[in-house]
Structure 1
């Protein structure tokens, strides 16, 4: 009976969101409302459901959100391929592409190092006693397995040169399926070569080059039409994903590790303020950005998927006036390297906690800046391993000569922390876009001539 009632509640909530759409309620407000509804409904059913009822509810209701995320992931690779190629069809000077790419990668890696410093400082001032945690055998085993695979010579372990080699695709069509660890970067590299080839024939064979350009423009419009269709279902997906996420999580598990959990979100908030400050320096008002980005950030938070949020991210950056070529490069790179949240903040917090258990002051300049450097380098190396926050943490701990066992303790609540980390990762990519625009003379300030906008 309770299960049947829960389905009725979800259907009624979806109908309510559809009604608001028919009344022309803005998309961003419907997404936020869906988020709040999902949390409220999820908390209620979390307390009412038995374990079996929760599983049955999540299987059926969560199915819709899972399908939606898969659809967005399905279109992500073709979208990246086309957008990167369009970056070449809309420029005149070849060296611009090199400058854009270097600026994006440099910004991502530098901000990851900065995020590492923020994480270490937050972990230190949070004063979390790492020695008080009971490192269970399962937590130690999980951490040891990751260390063996990615650090200590396992089959997946790669040296830095091998990681760089692993980025390059041997079969770009296989990478378009997204199956390889560094598939996103592989697709970007393949698109880069296609773009360079276009520039090489642009003057020699203008007829063929124009045909290629027009074809890519047409493909882009078709793909974006698919994306917009998918995005129209976002509020309903947000509702179902948020509801099942809350229903499925043991709320007491968060309470047991509340101090670490709070420290993570405090660090994320500090880093987001810094990111907004950089955006303001680049000419974009933080308030204007947050108004545009709220639906995207909400969706990234709920799904904890940078790739799944990519389509909405690209649309949002286009609304801010960021050229497609820059936004597509930064968004794709930000899912694989320089991840401010996963490879910066999260490892930094755990490094501080572990360092203090070893009698090391994590804020001593020698340790702090060396750790930040290792975090920045690790954020680049992760592109060749496909790892997330825990992998980045364990690799960095090993590089610093610190024990890795404590990282296994936090795996239990990592999915909840990962929701916030994904938002910080996404913001990091947008920062890279804006810094690139700033260095290339693209004005992102909001037009002040209201007369011209009204006439338009």
Structure 2
């Protein structure tokens, strides 16, 4: 079986086993502990023990490669382009596209949510003693982009700071004429080694995916979805519409490439992002697929993919837009046109500072609610279903990275269209 089929089979089996165990153990949001000793043993040693351990080890193994991959690929790419005007042009196109797509995403989310009204007529009571996240200020977010200690940034996995340092290092290498050739060769060899490590780990992906999803659905179940069905399906529908329709139109309009071929080649990555809920953990797989299967040159992919993982959060911005409308309607608060315009601006900025880890969007949602004048306690209303929706919006974020990479590469004449159209070049 191909890797795609094995990952898909692992997802189906993991979800089925998780829901089956959830029903057998009788776990609900109000009763998270099984009533029988046998059920408690299964929850403690099988679910929270074996399944969680395998899943966390697999995620940790992937995250192990993220920092080396970003640093090595971005230094190599920027060193190759650092002395050319194409470097600044490519960076400008990439950042512009990411900001525009995020703004469009949150605008569509607000428009559809206001039409549907997911929170209208709700008089929901907030649970007591909920720990709410605190949002950093916009100033702190912008200042935090620039590293004071690159080693510390790498140790903490601060993606934006790693990107800034890697770009500066690469440009400096490009201007060192005597050493440039040898350093580029070194980083090219190191990049090949990291890619080989990625391929090794991908063979273990089905086992990690099975354990992650089984554990998630044992503890989550599906009852939480029924309580917030209108919000859940509104957000889910917008995410699917944006990921399928908007990205397809962008890819076809700017490159003339087939969205169907793009979807088939990115499908394994999207499945993997769905199961891990982390575009950061998925990034090694994303980078390899965009280069090897879509034909995007390393000079482009080494810049667009790490930057997209850090700042391209269209799925997160959609969630923030829908959640804002839902919370405002649930509380009966009308924030007006100016309030929703502020949501678009703040959500676009907040997406830049959102970490590429599961449920990090909830932290940035606090910033959006503050700017809109809505109570932060409203976050508690959507927490119960956020973990499931986080899986979908992670896939949307990853699809956006692929589309922007293809658009930028095509505009720079660095896209191998023959490789893109070759359906044998897939995982």
The two structures have a TM-score, normalised by structure 1, of 0.82
Q: Does the CA contact (< 8 Å) of 2:295 and 2:420 recur in 1?
A: no
Partner of 1:292: 265
Task: Please state if 1:426 is matched with 2:402.
Answer: no
- Contact 1:46 1:54 (8 Å CA) reproduced: no
Deviation per residue, 1:237-283 (Å, 9 max, x gap): 11222222211213211211121111111010111120122122223
> What corresponds to 1:193 in structure 2?
168
Which residue of 134, 137, 145 corresponds with 1:158?
Answer: 137
Cα 1:448–1:200 shift into 2, 3 Å: closer
Question: For residues 97-153 of structure 1, what are the alpha-carbon distances to aligned partners after superposition, in whole Å with 9 as ceiling and x for unaligned?
Answer: 2222222222112111111012112322332235524232537x534xx3xx32xxx
Among 153, 156, 174, the residue aligned to 1:178: 156
1:309 — aligned with what? 282
SS at match of 2:22: helix
Give the counterpart of 1:47 among 13, 16, 23: 23
Deviations 1:47-72 (A, max 9, x none): 12363223322120232121111100
> How far apart, CA to CA, are the structure 1 residues paired with 2:220 and 2:66?
28
* Alpha-carbon separation, structure 2, partners of 1:387 and 1:34: 23
Gaps spanning 5+ residues in structure 1: where?
1-24, 151-156
Distance 1:405 1:257 in 2: 16
**In the TM superposition, what is the alpha-carbon distance from 1:89 to its structure 2 partner?**
4.0
Contact 1:166 1:384 in 2 (8 A): no
SS in 2 for 1:138: coil
1:251 equivalent in alignment to 2:222: yes
CA distance in 2, matches of 1:131, 1:248: 30
* Structure 2: distance between partners of 1:420 and 1:404: 24
**How many angstroms apart in 2 are the aligned matches of 1:253 and 1:31?**
26
SS at match of 2:144: helix
What aligned pairs does 1:98-117 form with structure 2 within 5 A after superposition?
A: 98-117=88-107
C-alpha displacement at 1:407, in angstroms?
2.1
RMSD, aligned CA: 2.7
TM-score by length of 2: 0.87
3-state secondary structure, aligned to 1:309: helix
Counterpart check, 1:168 vs 2:157: no
How far did residue 229 of structure 1 move? Answer: 0.6
Distance 1:384 1:445 in 2: 30
Is structure 2 residue 303 aligned with structure 1 residue 329? yes
Is 1:57 the counterpart of 2:57? The answer is: no
- What does residue 241 of structure 1 align with? 212
Question: Structure 2: which 5+ runs fail to align?
Answer: 27-33, 35-39
Distance 1:404 1:95, change over 3 A: same
Asked if residue 348 in structure 1 is aligned to residue 314 in structure 2, the reply is: no
Shift of 1:215: 1.0
Give the counterpart of 2:409 among 434, 437, 441: 437
Which residue does the alignment assign to 1:16? none
What is the aligned partner in structure 2 of residue 8 from structure 1?
A: none
Compare 371-380 and 412-421 and name the one that shifted more.
371-380
8 Å CA contact retained: 2:283, 2:305: yes
Deviates further, 253-262 or 162-171: 162-171
Q: Structure 2 residue aligned with 1:265, among 221, 236, 261?
A: 236
Cα distance, 1:216 vs structure 2: 0.9
Bigger Cα displacement from structure 2, 250-259 vs 122-131: 122-131
